[in-house]
Amino acid sequence: MIKIKNVYKTYNLGMKNQFLALNNISLDIKDNDMLAIIGASGSGKSTLIHLIACIDYFEKGDIFIDDINIGKISEKQRSEIRNKKIGIVFQDFALIEDASVYDNIELPLLLSGKHYSSKTKRKLITEALQNVGIEELIDKPVSQLSGGQKQRVAIARAIVNEPSVILADEPTGALDSKTSSEIINLFSMLHNQGKTIVLITHDMYVANCCERIVEIKDG
């Protein structure tokens, strides 16, 4: 499903000052894989996730998602892949705090380019929330939720467009251990529903819940 071949990523830090963040990375991620990526802070984990998610660019190598070479397509096609095939979850939830749960999860539906009726949107958002077990919070402001509830909202937002891949960057990094294991159970459930899960973590308990662990060192 995702094929990463000899990828290099350099950050330009100003004149002649370059930092090689990914140094010839290759990795195959199969359909319905549940993969943990571990590695020290600064080793390049987030960078790799950003490249797969079409959030950032790389200068050398190839990344294929379902046989589409994402380094060789237009920005419009990249945003389509980001919106339709991939759901992303971050450590800090990346929600709009002042908005309601509904409004946050509606965003990917609005960006999808499809024209949903209000009724259909409410149905899709309710289903996504049922999947993460918090449908009763649909009209609450995000600012009133606990950390675990916020991460559930972020996961609902990641799945509402029914992507085949979920990328999660330290999704339990801001949560206590009990809430972490609840969130990991959700990822396992999504995996059992057929999704491909790629999960960055520092926590070996979380990594061991995955089917496969890869470690990245110094890019």
Range 24-31 contact pairs with CB under 8 angstroms and sequence separation of 24 or more? 24/61, 25/61, 25/216, 25/219, 27/2, 27/214, 28/2, 28/3, 28/4, 29/1, 29/2, 29/3, 29/4, 29/196, 29/198, 30/1, 30/196, 31/1, 31/164, 31/196
Closer by beta carbon to ligand ADP, 39 or else 171 = 39
Minimum distance from residue 74 beta carbon to ligand ADP (Å): 23
Query: Is 83 one of the binding residues for ligand ADP (CB under 6 A)?
Result: no
Contact partner, 44, from Mg ion, ligand ADP, none, Cβ < 5-8 Å per class = ligand ADP
Which is nearer to Mg ion, 46 or 149 (by Cβ)?
A: 46
HSE-CB at 8 with a 13 A cutoff on CA atoms is: 9
> Segment near ligand ADP (CB under 6 A), from 13-21, 125-133, 139-147, 177-185?
13-21
Measured from the CB atom, the residue of 43 and 131 that comes closer to ligand ADP is 43
Answer whether 44's CB lies under 8 Å from 22's CB.
Answer: yes
Count of C-beta atoms within a 10 Å radius of residue 152: 25
Q: Which does 74 bind (CB under 5 to 8 A by kind): Mg ion, ligand ADP, none?
A: none
CA–CA distances in Å: residue 209 to residues 9, 121, 154, 183 = 29, 33, 20, 11
Cβ-based nearer residue to ligand ADP, 138 or 216: 216
Q: What is the footprint of Mg ion within residues 39-58 (CB under 5 A)? A: 46
Per partner kind, with CB cut-offs from 5 to 8 A, the member of Mg ion, ligand ADP, none near residue 11 is: ligand ADP
Positions that interact with ligand ADP (CB under 6 A) = 11, 13, 19, 21, 39, 41-47
Positions that interact with Mg ion (CB under 5 A) = 46
